[in-house]
Structure 1
Amino acid sequence: MVDLVLLAFIGLIAAMGLKRPFVWILLYIYVDLVIPQKVGWGIIQMFPLSLMMFALAFGGWLVLDSKEGSRFTFRQGLIVALLGLCAFTTFRAEFQDSAWEKWDWVWKSLLFAAFLPLTMRTRLRIEAVALFMVLSIGAICISGGMKTVFGGGGYGTLRLLVVENSGIYESSIISIAAIAIIPIAVWLARFGTVFRPHWTVAAFVAALSFACLLMPVGTNARTGLVCAAVLAAMMLRTVKNRFLYAGIAGVALVMAVPFLPQSYLERMSTIFDHKEDESASTRIAVWGWTLDYVKEHPMGGGFDAYRANSFTYQMPQVTGSGNSRSVTYVEVTDEGRAYHSSYFEMLGEQGWLGLGLWLLLHGIGLLQMELVRRRFRPAKGEKLGWQGGLAEALQQAHVVFMIGALFVGIAFQPFGFLIVGMEIAFGSYLKRQAEEQRQGPSRRWATSHAALSH
C-alpha cells in the first residue's frame, strides 16, 4: 500500500511537469532527499527513481523550458572542476569497488548542483526549491520528532522513514540537515508567496522548527547540538531584542534539561572531553592518519581511501564513581575507520586540490551572502526585505552545514549542494535585476517588446 501511494504521488507530480517542466526539478529534489524507493518495501524498489528523475529534470529543461536569463557562473565552474577531479581520482582509487559505488551518487549530486542554478531564473523558482527542500527534510524530521516525544530514540536507533542508519537518515547527518533548514523555513513563513504569511503558516513552521530541534535529542547526535548552538548564536546578529532573545533561550534551555533522556545528557557530556569517548578519540587518530597519508598521496586516494587506515591509540577506561573513580588506559588497534569530517574526507579522497576547490566553493558563497545581506540591510525604521532575509537564511543554513561538516563526512551530501545551488541562483537573479535597472525603462521596454514579437 505504501508503495502504491508513493508511486501515485510521484506520478501525479510528474504529470504536472508536462505543463510546467520546472516541476520535474522539484520532483528530483524530493526523490534525492527523501529517497522514497527505500521508504517502500515492494515494487517501488524495482525502479531506479533517482536516475529516472534526474534524466526527466535535465531533459525537461533542455527540451521544454525557457533558457532566458540563465547564466553559468564561476562557482558552477568550480563544481564542474570538482566533478572532473572526482572522476580522475575514482579511476585511480585504491579501493575500486567501493569508490565506484560512491561515485554512483556523487556525480549526480555534483552535476545537479551545477545544473540547478540554470533553471532557477525567478524568485518563484528559488522559493519553490527552498520549499521542497524544507518539506522533504521536514517530512523526515516530523516523523523523528514524534517518535522522540513518545519515547523512542538513541544514537543509531531512532527509526525514521527508513530502517537503515545511512545517507541523510544517518543520525548526525539528519541532525545537521534539520537544524540547517530552520532559518530557510522561517524565511518562507515571513516572505513566502506560494504559502503567503498567515498565522497557520507561522504555526506550522514553529512546529516544524521544534521537530527539527528534537532531532539531535532523538538521535543523541552531539553534532546536532553544536549546530543548534551555532544557529542560535548567529540569530543574535539579526534579532531586534537580543537580550530578550538570549534570556528566553537560556530559560528554555534550563527548563528543557530535566526532560532530556539521561542517555542524551551522558553522550553530550563527552563533547567537553573527547579523551573519555572512543568515537571522538578515533576521529582524532583518523585525522592524524589522513595528514600523514596525503604526504605520500597529495592527490588523494579516491573515494573511501580511509579503508587503508590502521592505527593504535590509548583509550581510557573509567571504572567506579565519585572518590573511587579510577582511569586505566588500554591500547586499542583500529582500522578502516571513516574520516568523520568532511574536510578530512575531501583531503584524503581528493587531495589538496580537491580540498581547495571545495573550500573555495563554500567560502565564496558565504562571502557573497554576507555582501548581499549588507546591501539589503534595512535602514532604521524600515522592515527587512525578502532579499536580505533570504541572504541571512542561506548564510545561516550554510554555516550550520560547514560546522556540522567538521565532525561528519557530508562533503557530497545533496542537501548541502542544494544550499550552494540556491545561493548561486539567488546571486544571479540579483545581478540580472541590477542590470535591468541600469538599462532604464526604454531599454527594458525594447527588450520585452522584442521578446514578445518572437
Structure 2
Amino acid sequence: MRDLFITGLIFSLLPFVFRRPWLGILLWSWLGYMNPHRLAWGFAYNMPFSMIVGAVTILAFMASREKKDMPWTREIFVLLLLTGWMLFTTFFAFYPALAWLEWNKVWKIMLMVLLTTLIINERYKLHWLMWVIVLSFGFYGVKGGIFTIINGGVYRVQGPTGTFIAGNNEMALALVMTVPLIRYLHLQEPRKWVKIGLATAMVLTGVAAIGSQSRGGMLAMAAMGLFLWVKSRNKIVTGFYMAIAVAVMASVMPQAWYDRMNTIKTYQEDQSAQGRINAWHTAFNVAKDRITGGGFDMFRPPTFRQYAPDPWNVHDVHSIYFEMMGEQGFIGFALFMLLGVLAWMRARQIIKRCKRDPEQKWAADLAAMIQVSLVGYATAGAFLGMSHFDLPYHLMIILVLAAKFSGALGKVAPAPAGVHGRGLPHPASRFGTENAGPRA
C-alpha cells in the first residue's frame, strides 16, 4: 500500500511539472532529501524516481517560454570548475569501475543544483524550496526527537537505508544543518500556530541530532548552536529554545551516551579515531603523489598498502576535507574550499546590503541562517566523509538566488512586494514578510 501511495503521488504530480518546471525542482529536492520511496518495502524502493523527475523537469524547462537567465557569479564558475575537475580525475582513478559509478551520482546532483539557479526565478519559488528542504529533513528531526525522548536515548537515530543520511553520523550532520533553516522559516512566519510548530520542530530536531549518538554531530551541534545564537536577531528567544533542547537532552540521555561523548577527549586510545587519522595521512600522501588524486572511492586496502603510515589499518576517511583531498588531489581540494569561502563572502554581502532594509531583511535572515548551517557542515564534516552531499551545494546556490532577488547582486532589481506567480502566492502575501507584524 505504501509503495502504491508514493508511486501514485509522484506520477500524479508530473503533469504539474510540465506546466511549471519549478515544481520539478521542489519534487526532486523532496525525493533527494527525504527519500520517501526508501520508506517503502516493495517495488517503489528501488524505482529511479529522482531520474524520472529530473528528466521531466529538464524537458519541461527547455520547452517552456520562461527566460533562461543564468546568474554567472563566481560561485557558479567555481562549482562548474570543480565538477569538471572531478570528471577529469575520474579518468585517472585508482578504481575506474567504482569511480565512474560514483561520478554517475555526482554529476546528476551538480546538474540539478545548477538548474535550480535557472528555474527558481522568483522569490516565492525560493521560499517554497526552503519549505521543501526543511520539511524533508524536519520529518526525520521531529520523528527522531520523539523517538529519542520515548526511548531515553538508548537507540541511535538513523535514516533510511541506501541514502546519504542512512547512518547515525550522516543523519546527525543533516539534522544539524536543518536547525538554522527551520529558524529562518520561523523568523518569516506571521501565523502564530505555525511559528509554534516550527519552534517545536527546531527543538526536536536538535534532540534527534544528539540522539544519533554521533560524536562529530555533538561537536557540530555545539559549534552550530553557538553561531546560531550569535547570528540570531532575538538572542533571548533563541537562547530559550536552545535551553529547552539542552534540558531535554540532559534528562533523557543515558550514561552510555555520556561515556561515548567523553571518548572525544581520549581519541589517542580510540581505535576508530586512530583509523581515521591513518586514513587522513593516506589522503594527504595520495594527493602529494598524484595531481589528480586517487579518484572517487579510492579508500580501499591496496591504497592503504601503498600510502598509509599503518598499511594494515584500513578505515573510511570520515572527513569531507581529506576525502576531497585524497580523491581529487590538492586542486580539487582547493576548489572545494574556495567554493565555501565564496559562499561565506556572498552571505556577508547579502547581510550587509539587506539587514537594514525592511523589505529585504528576509534575505539577510536567510544568508545568516545558511552561514550557521554551513558552520554545522564544516564542523561535522571534519569527521564525516560527505563531500558530495547535495545540501551544502544547494545552499550555496540559494545564496546566489537570495542575492539576485534582493538586489544584492547589483544587476537584478528585487521584485515589487505585490508581484507573485500564477496560481501561487508570493511569500509576502501568505508566508510572512518583514512587515507582517512583531516576531520572536
Match in the other structure for 1:94: 94
1:152 and 1:218 in contact (8 A); partners too: no
2:154 and 2:254 in contact (8 A); partners too: no
Q: How big is the alpha-carbon RMSD for the aligned residues of Structure 1 and Structure 2?
A: 2.7
Aligned length: 410
Report the TM-score when normalising by structure 1.
0.83
Deviates more, 1:382-391 or 1:164-173: 382-391
- What secondary structure, in the 3-state scheme, does the structure 1 residue paired with 2:72 have? coil
Give me the whole-angstrom Cα distance separating, in 2, the residues matched to 1:252 and 1:49. Answer: 36
Give me the whole-angstrom Cα distance separating, in 2, the residues matched to 1:70 and 1:26. Answer: 19
- Mapping for residues 308-319 of structure 1, pairs under 5 Å: 308-310=303-305, 311=308
Match in the other structure for 1:292: 285
Report the CA distance between 1:254 and its aligned residue. 5.9
- Mapping for residues 355-370 of structure 1, pairs under 5 Å: 355-370=333-348
Partner amino acid, structure 2, of 1:411 = S
Give me the whole-angstrom Cα distance separating, in 2, the residues matched to 1:240 and 1:132. Answer: 24
Partner amino acid, structure 2, of 1:364 = L
| CA spacing shift, 1:3–1:368, aligned 2, 3 Å | same
Report the CA distance between 1:400 and its aligned residue. 1.4
Match in the other structure for 1:26: 26
| CA spacing shift, 1:153–1:56, aligned 2, 3 Å | farther
| Offset from partner CA, 1:361-390 (integer Å, 9 cap, x none) | 1110011101211222339xx899212111
2:18 and 2:56 in contact (8 A); partners too: no
Give me the whole-angstrom Cα distance separating, in 1, the residues matched to 2:340 and 2:274. Answer: 28
Aligned counterpart for 1:413 among listed residues 389, 394, 399:
389
Match in the other structure for 2:427: none
1:277 and 2:293 are equivalent in the alignment:
no
Partner amino acid, structure 2, of 1:238 = K
Match in the other structure for 2:226: 233
Question: Which sections of structure 2, spanning at least 5 residues, go unmatched?
Answer: 415-440
Partner amino acid, structure 2, of 1:169 = A
Give me the whole-angstrom Cα distance separating, in 2, the residues matched to 1:421 and 1:433. Answer: 13
| Offset from partner CA, 1:203-244 (integer Å, 9 cap, x none) | 211121122112233221112211211122113323466588
Report the CA distance between 1:73 and its aligned residue. 2.5
- Which of the two has higher C-alpha Rg? 1
Give me the whole-angstrom Cα distance separating, in 2, the residues matched to 1:79 and 1:434. Answer: 21
- What secondary structure, in the 3-state scheme, does the structure 2 residue paired with 1:394 have? helix
- Mapping for residues 100-111 of structure 1, pairs under 5 Å: 100-111=100-111
Aligned counterpart for 2:353 among listed residues 358, 375, 391:
375
Partner amino acid, structure 2, of 1:263 = A
Report the CA distance between 1:341 and its aligned residue. 0.4
Partner amino acid, structure 2, of 1:175 = A
- Mapping for residues 322-333 of structure 1, pairs under 5 Å: 333=312
- What secondary structure, in the 3-state scheme, does the structure 2 residue paired with 1:10 have? helix
Partner amino acid, structure 2, of 1:420 = M
Give me the whole-angstrom Cα distance separating, in 1, the residues matched to 2:18 and 2:236. Answer: 51
Match in the other structure for 2:213: 220
1:33 and 1:137 in contact (8 A); partners too: yes
1:350 and 2:328 are equivalent in the alignment:
yes
> Could you tell me the percent identity over the aligned residues?
24
Report the CA distance between 1:263 and its aligned residue. 2.1
Give me the whole-angstrom Cα distance separating, in 1, the residues matched to 2:353 and 2:59. Answer: 37
Report the CA distance between 1:343 and its aligned residue. 0.6
Report the CA distance between 1:53 and its aligned residue. 1.4
1:176 and 2:173 are equivalent in the alignment:
yes
1:144 and 1:218 in contact (8 A); partners too: yes
Question: Which sections of structure 1, spanning at least 5 residues, go unmatched?
Answer: 314-331, 439-454
1:429 and 2:422 are equivalent in the alignment:
no
Give me the whole-angstrom Cα distance separating, in 1, the residues matched to 2:143 and 2:57. Answer: 28
- What secondary structure, in the 3-state scheme, does the structure 1 residue paired with 2:190 have? coil
1:154 and 1:220 in contact (8 A); partners too: no
- What secondary structure, in the 3-state scheme, does the structure 2 residue paired with 1:353 have? helix
| CA spacing shift, 1:306–1:73, aligned 2, 3 Å | same
1:220 and 1:264 in contact (8 A); partners too: yes
Match in the other structure for 2:313: 334
Report the CA distance between 1:110 and its aligned residue. 1.5
- What secondary structure, in the 3-state scheme, does the structure 1 residue paired with 2:327 have? helix
Report the CA distance between 1:356 and its aligned residue. 0.9
Report the CA distance between 1:80 and its aligned residue. 1.7
Partner amino acid, structure 2, of 1:288 = H
Partner amino acid, structure 1, of 2:171 = I
Report the TM-score when normalising by structure 2.
0.85
